[in-house]
Amino acid sequence: MQFGNVFHELFEMRGDKGKKSRRGGEEGKHTRRRAKSHIAPEHTLSSPASVEQTKWANLPPELLLDIIQRVEASETSWPARRDVIACASVCKSWREITKGIVKTPEQCGWLTFPVSLKQPGPRDDPIQCFIKRERETSTYLLYLGLSPALCGDVSKLLLAARKVRRATSTHFVVSLVADEFSRASITYVGKLRSNFLGSKFTVYDSQPPQDSAIQTNYQSHRKMNPKKVSPRMTAGSYSVATVSYELNILRTRGPRRMQCIMQSIPMSAVQEGGVAPTPTELATCLPPNCCALQVSKGSKQLANFCSSDPTTDLEQGTKEPVILKNKAPRWHEQLQCWCLNFKGRVTVASVKNFQLVAAAEPCHNVPLAEEEKVILQFGKIGKDIFTMDYRYPLSAFQAFAICLSSFDTKPVCE
């Protein structure tokens, strides 16, 4: 049987299963109308979908491994790479083998599963993306690809963010989908929060850093009763990075100056032979000891998960954070503007354009090639269209959050 026929049959099986689940939901509504104490029989255990799935689950492991390896090697771009996702969606045995075959973006340069958005990018060639701004809804969409003109309607949506203005700050809520930005949803990825002046931004992740030696602050989003918290509810965020813009009180002419302290990435990650923290799963539940915290109904929110300040701990400890700074542009006499070499990825002059490199001291023993390598670049190519290229040690979520800080108004920094 050809691979195309196999996946066609798999998609038909998933579609039949979805129809049956929706039909079961409608029957459940009628059942609840009869009586609240009615218990439905467990007829789904012997459903045809389960029997059909068993045929695929009982394939010999050697044959299954060979099939998934061939699919993973042949489908290297979206939307064709969704066939790899289809393999992981068949059953548990298929999913475990697929997860073992698919490599991280650092190793292969591809984005496959949602957890890839939290993993560091490749060390050599950057992953090229673009951001589309929707002014009407204050939404920012991150797509995988060179540009909308080249990708068209087949662009792969990676992340979405919605801007929420408040009295003293601005929040960007980041999600996996473009129509759900609730922090109680399993699609919640993290957020970006600014200070009153718009000169400092804090990046919050929905899950703790992979490296347990790096401590970060844990924050609660809302007041809640620990007895009523769902085990799948994401109730907090972890501070993983800080983006600061230099104040321009004298209103001197020039580009913005920014600095990023990546609290979740140690400086050793950019040293020779260093490794950046790489999560293997997306956390969609509360920390184990969060429910033990007592919260009164109308008083304070949950206390900080970690009592110590992360920046202080990193400075006193052996693991210093990676610090990124914007690459200094040069003044072009003929064009009468500040210029950077974006290698054709940026075509419109804008104060938002920037390139970030590692700010390493001689004592850090970082190779010169690593210091000059552009880790993240962001720039404008059209009306409400921007490019974003990132590489190791940043992840797609971290790079997207840093770029979102450039969209906020900064009257004291320009």
Q: Which helix (H) or strand (E) holds 9?
A: helix 3-34
| Contact between 257 and 317 (Cβ < 8 Å) | no
- 379 beta partners: 387
Query: Locate tokens 């006499």: which residue?
Result: 333
How many angstroms separate the CA atoms of 279 and 109, rounded?
Answer: 16
Domain locations in the chain as residue ranges: 57-102
Q: How far apart are alpha carbons 140 and 160 in whole angstroms?
A: 6
| Tokens at 183, concatenated | 């922090």
Return the pLDDT at 226: 42
Q: State the DSSP string of 92-161.
A: HHHHHHHHHHSPPHHHH----SGGGGGSB--SSSPEEEEEEEETTTTEEEEEESS-HHHHGGGPEEEEEE
Residues with pLDDT less than 50, the chain: 1, 17, 19-23, 25, 27-52, 212-213, 215-216, 220-235, 286-318
Residue 85's nearest CA partner among 50, 111, 58 is 111
* Helix, strand or coil, per DSSP, at residue 12: helix
d(CA 298, CA 286): 21
Taking phi first (over 0 means left), then psi (-120 to 50 degrees means alpha), and beta for anything else, what does residue 344 get? left
CA distances from 12 to 19, 57, 71, 182, 339 (A): 11, 16, 19, 32, 53
Q: Is 250 exposed, middle or buried (0-12, 13-18, 19+ CB in 10 A)?
A: exposed
CB-based burial label for 282 (10 Å; 0-12, 13-18, 19+): middle
Question: What's residue 331's pLDDT?
Answer: 81
